[in-house]
A and B are shown apart, each in its own frame.
Chain A
């Protein structure tokens, strides 16, 4: 993906750039709001990582100006203002996801890849398939290797989230937000427990594991 990172802290921006490049993305940097708007309008990016507090032009303003100009590039907003109301503000201004500082790089990577994928036409699918694991979103059924797997409603949503992001890392925070709609980090390993239950249902009795733990980051569903 081609990604524009807008961040006034150059050191942090360099790290983000380095990390994203290593993950196989093409990254441009902008350090103030005006430059960011110019660059975003000039080139066609797959995703934007936008800091809220920027010199010259506020991050939200950049976003609103972009959206006003009809630009639908997915935007991940970064901010030190991690409160829910700021999050709502950001999403209302046209952001696709919101990440509060401090974030782990893995979280950032997982999220930007998730929103970058949104523009794919596959968003409206009714069936998901990863390896021999199949999910029917209409019938709400899951089969692996032709064998029916019985899931609780929440487990179904958990698996759906993982399958929609198949091949990519999904962090615990993302799962908590997308599956449970919680915007705080529990201190205990609640997500791990749910994952391990899910694993018991979709992986245990089948030869090759699909659900992998990515150290320091989260989980990845991959054949």
Chain B
């Protein structure tokens, strides 16, 4: 229990990473993510166009207005110096009630300076770097105190953007004070400057400005709205990608599960149909058709296999019976010995044939549904008890240590057969090859796996032969003289496959001695054949073997 709660703690993080990994591997998710990105991108482009049409066009319009103001003021200025401003007042560009203390630097009063500064006219004297500024407040009268002229501070209009005979385009910050509330406010001003010449001598720059704070704020609000909406669109896009991907993945998962089930031998499984005739439904239809076909073929093959088995076994059984009958009749004579030997040969032939059929059936995975969670201990104890005396008789010491409380998904009969084959191989090859020890062990492996292995100190199997010996009818040269069909390990391999267990061949008990250069093993590395069972899915253990026998241990 302790371990399971621990794993539950680590679950959310692992789950998240796993979910993300799965999502990124999901084709549909990737495709719809690209779609969402494209959609977010086009939304941004569309908004940029709107922005350009509204804000940039307004700024351009203001520029145009400034330009015409500038041209107008320039012409007035050229006509007659300070009369310019008289004229400006006359045409209503300047408030009429402006006190005129200076023609160029004329502070004028405004009762409502908090009103938006609409137009600013500035003259910059090139010689002493001083500014003169006029603020036009449209039709409203306004006031700008002299100190604030500097504060209005044409810090931005400079000669940096100076263009010969051209216009200087700048953006300035104007600090505007409200004398009533004593509140200052910074407002952005779009400024257009023009160099003024008098007798071909530059005397100053005439700046015309216009408050653009309002439109700039509008622009900023639009930009922030654009960013926010793009992010929201992207977020929604990702969400919908996940949704679509999961929906789709669920249908794909059903098909994947089907394929796994079929691989596991459940040939009767079929994909669920929605009859919507969409591509997934058609895929399911085709898969089902294919499975029907495979099922028919399998049945035909199985029937053929069974018939061949039946047809071949019948004459073989007859042959065996005849030999046996003759052997019994011949009794304890030399002929009898020959006949018994012949019957034994027939048995061997039949058992080989039987093994081949068994392996074929195992490989078809027919019996996978028979697997259930069980504790291997009673099964292995029984086997140990069965083989211990035989080992002793063969001059081998047989030891075993089997952990209790293990759980594997297995079939008792098949597990017994596999381990029995391994022990018999060890008796045959280790015993025949000068070995003296056989050990059977079952232990907890990593991550809930269970390792069951038989290890000996016999001659072992060279590394390059270890893959080959799992195949059917493969016998190594050394073992040709010993009885056997070369099917033992192939059968174990097939049983392991059925249990989704791993069959591992490794050096056995002698390996350390061989590595250390000791002579007592005559270079025999021994052999370790290991079955690694995957973690049993069900936690519930069926403790008793299928027949309820527990058998005392030796």
- Which residues on B sit within 8 Å (CB–CB) of A122? none
Q: Is the CB of A193 within 8 A of B389?
A: yes
Within 8 A of B (CB), among A69-104: 80-85, 101-104
Q: Does A197 contact B (CB under 8 A)?
A: yes
A153 to B354, CA, bound (A): 32
Q: Is the CB of A182 within 8 A of B367?
A: no
- Which residues on B sit within 8 Å (CB–CB) of A82? 354, 357
Looking at the complex, which one of A104, A153, A188 makes contact with B390 (CB distance below 8 Å)?
A188
Q: Is the CB of B420 within 8 A of A105?
A: no
Within 8 A of A (CB), among B391-433: 392-393, 413, 416-417, 420, 424, 427-428
Q: In the complex, how many residue pairs between chain A and chain B have their CB atoms under 8 Å apart?
A: 107
Q: Does B317 contact A (CB under 8 A)?
A: yes
Q: Does A106 contact B (CB under 8 A)?
A: yes
Within 8 A of B (CB), among A93-132: 101-106
Within 8 A of A (CB), among B93-142: none
Known: A105-B325, A197-B389. A152 touches B554 (CB 8 A): yes
Q: Is the CB of B317 within 8 A of A188?
A: no
A18 to B325, CA, bound (A): 10
Q: Is the CB of B310 within 8 A of A80?
A: yes
Q: How far is the CB of B351 from chain A (nearest CB, A)?
A: 7
Q: Pick the most buried of A12, A182, A184: most chain B CB atoms within 10 A of its CB.
A: A184
B394's closest neighbor in chain A, by CB?
A188
A183 to B420, CA, bound (A): 12
Q: Is the CB of B317 within 8 A of A12?
A: yes
A190 to B427, CA, bound (A): 11
A33 to B414, CA, bound (A): 33
Within 8 A of A (CB), among B449-503: 483-484, 488
Looking at the complex, which one of B361, B382, B424, B545 makes contact with A188 (CB distance below 8 Å)?
B424
Number of interface residues, chain B, beta carbon within 8 A: 52
Q: Is the CB of A101 within 8 A of B314?
A: yes
Q: Is the CB of B387 within 8 A of A190?
A: yes
Q: How far is the CB of A152 from chain B (nearest CB, A)?
A: 6
B344's closest neighbor in chain A, by CB?
A216
- Which residues on B sit within 8 Å (CB–CB) of A197? 389
Looking at the complex, which one of B314, B328, B420 makes contact with A12 (CB distance below 8 Å)?
B314
Q: Does A205 contact B (CB under 8 A)?
A: no
Q: Does A187 contact B (CB under 8 A)?
A: yes
Q: Does B350 contact A (CB under 8 A)?
A: yes
A103 to B320, CA, bound (A): 8
Q: Does A223 contact B (CB under 8 A)?
A: no
Looking at the complex, which one of B309, B389, B420 makes contact with A80 (CB distance below 8 Å)?
B309
A197 to B554, CA, bound (A): 13
- Which residues on B sit within 8 Å (CB–CB) of A154? 385, 551-552
Q: Does B54 contact A (CB under 8 A)?
A: no
Looking at the complex, which one of B306, B316, B367 makes contact with A102 (CB distance below 8 Å)?
B316
Q: Is the CB of A189 within 8 A of B367?
A: no
Q: Does B22 contact A (CB under 8 A)?
A: no
- Which residues on A sit within 8 Å (CB–CB) of B351? 185
Besides A80-B314, A180-B386, A184-B417, 5 more A-B contacts (Cβ < 8 Å) are A19-B325, A85-B367, A102-B317, A102-B346, A184-B416
Residues in B lying within 8 Å of A, measured CB to CB: 306, 309-310, 313-314, 316-318, 320-322, 324-325, 327-328, 340, 343, 346-347, 350-351, 354, 357-358, 361, 366-367, 370, 382, 385-387, 389-390, 392-393, 413, 416-417, 420, 424, 427-428, 483-484, 488, 545, 547, 549, 551-552, 554
